[in-house]
Amino acid sequence: MFKIALSPAERSYLHESLSCSSPIRPDARLYKQFRPLEATCSFLPGSNGSARIRMADGAECLASVKAKVVSLQLNNADATQQLQNLIEVDLDINGIRDDSNLSSTIASSLKGSLVKHVPLDKLRLTHRYAFKLFIDIVVLSHSSVYPLTLLSLATYMALKSTKLPLLTSTVDDREIEEQPMFSDDWESSIALFGDSSLSPPLLFVVAVVNDNIFIDPSPEEESVSENGICLTYANGKIISPLQTISLSPKDNTGINAAQILKAHALVKEIGPLVTKSLDEIVSDDSVKTIF
């Protein structure tokens, strides 16, 4: 984690300016404005879907989705559990141990929200077989305490660009077993979120300073924030999990309902805009193939 050494005077100035009724962010952004970022998708040729996001300050995250055919255990009472196991999230944040609290918390909360928002019926191939998604996320470098926004943007795009090979054998193998066969043409593969009403969830971290909230806080803003809120957005709604997080080591005051409502309203406002711009990148067909 990146520590910004600000002098007490600087801290106080920054805190003051962010606390105003019309706050001024150090980089002159609006409270609902993101720092510029660069995103590409489908850049890993061997993956079913992939994305790469780079922030202006050098923070970078890669996400890759691979699909593998697995056979489902039949006659298992707990079918839902099996379906939930069709998504596996592996998270690697540079500088943090894989088994650290932070990593595993983020991974499991990401998995939890993905299970609800990935069209599992699309993963199901036949009665006996299904695709299992292996989502690998690597945060190469980051400056914020919680690189949640970064990795959720990358995951969102990777999932959105994920395509699954087209099944050509019969779908009904309940009584008569068949081995799945797929079309050899990659072009005929099906987009996971193609015509689905579902959409992968996005996690937004907002910093709370006084009564103001700020999207995509910079490290300096984080360091003077009193609190952080992580909100999950999907399909035009704010969904669970919604949790407070600590962005700075000090000044952790309580959080009040007004702040939550404000954050709620903010994410609800910018959510559609973010998804729209990300979707545009995904649907842009110009591939970035790396050699």
Partner 1 sequence: MPPSTKRLNNGLSVTTKVFVRSRNGGATKIVREHYLRDDVACYSKLCDQCEYSLETTPVLSHVPFSTAKLSKHYLILDTNTVLNAIDLLESSQALFDVIIPQTVLEEVRNRSYPIYTRLRGLSKADAKRLIVFHNEFCKNTFVARQKGETINDYNDRLIRKVCEYYNSHLSKYGVKAILLTDDKDNLRKCKDERVLALSLREYLSKLPNSEDLLDTLPSAQDDFQVAEFKYAEYYSQSRLIAGVKSSVLFQGPMNVSSYDIFEGTINLPSIFPKPILVRGRQNMNRATNGDLVVVELLPKSQWVAPSNDIVDESTLGNVDNEDNDLIISDQERRLLNKEARRAQMEEESKLQPSAKVVGVIRRRWRLFTGQLSPNTITSNTNTLNSCLITLSEKSMPAVRIKTRKANDLLNMRIVVAIDDWPGTSKHPEGHFVRTLGPIEDKDTEQEALLLEHDVEYRPFSKNVLDCLPKEGHEWVVPEDLSSDEQLKKRRDLRDKLVCSIDPPGCVDIDDALHARRLSNGNFEVGVHIADVTHFVKPATPLDQEGSSRSTSVYLVDKRIDMLPTLLGTDLCSLKPYVDRFSFSVIWELDEDANIINVDFMKSIIKSREAFSYQDAQDRIDDPSNKDELTQGMRSLLALSKKLKKKRMDAGALNLSSPEVKVHMDSETSDPGEVEIKKLLDTNSLVEEFMLLANISVARKIYDAFPQIAMLRRHAPPPSTNFEALNEMLHIRKGMTVSVENSKALSDSLDRCVDKNDEYFNTLVRIMATRCMMAAEYFVSGNFSYQEFKHYGLAADIYTHFTSPIRRYCDVLAHRQLAAAIGYEPLHPSQRDKTKMDLIVKNMNRRHRNAQFAGRASIEYYVGQVIKNTESSQEGYIIKVFTNGVVVLVPNFGVESLIKLEDMGDESSGLFDEKDFKLSFNDKIGNRRELHVFDKVTVYMKSVLNEMTGKRKAVFMLK
Q: Which residues of this protein are in contact with partner 1, per CB under 8 A?
A: 42, 45-48, 67-69, 71, 129, 164-165, 169-170, 173, 175-189, 285, 287, 289, 291
Contact by Cβ (8 Å): 131, 68: yes
Q: How far is the CB of 289 from partner 1 (least distance, A)?
A: 6
Residue 33 or 85 with smaller CB distance to partner 1: 85
Question: Any idea of the CA torsion for 270, 56, 53, 220, to the nearest 10 degrees?
Answer: -70
Q: How far is the CB of 205 from partner 1 (least distance, A)?
A: 33
| Residue (of 272, 260, 205, 199) closest to 232 by Cα position | 205
Q: Give the span between the Cα atoms of 243 and 235, in whole angstroms.
A: 19
Q: How far is the CB of 18 from partner 1 (least distance, A)?
A: 44
Residue 173 or 251 with smaller CB distance to partner 1: 173
- The count of other CB atoms within 10 Å of the CB of residue 189 is 16
Residue 81 or 289 with smaller CB distance to partner 1: 289
Residue 78 or 285 with smaller CB distance to partner 1: 285
Q: Give the span between the Cα atoms of 12 and 185, in whole angstroms.
A: 61
Dihedral sign for Cα atoms in the order 175, 180, 183, 189: positive
Q: How far is the CB of 264 from partner 1 (least distance, A)?
A: 39
Partnered with residue 229 across adjacent β-strands are 206, 244
Q: Pairing between strand 49-55 and 212-215?
A: unpaired
Residue 86 or 230 with smaller CB distance to partner 1: 86
Q: How far is the CB of 200 from partner 1 (least distance, A)?
A: 20
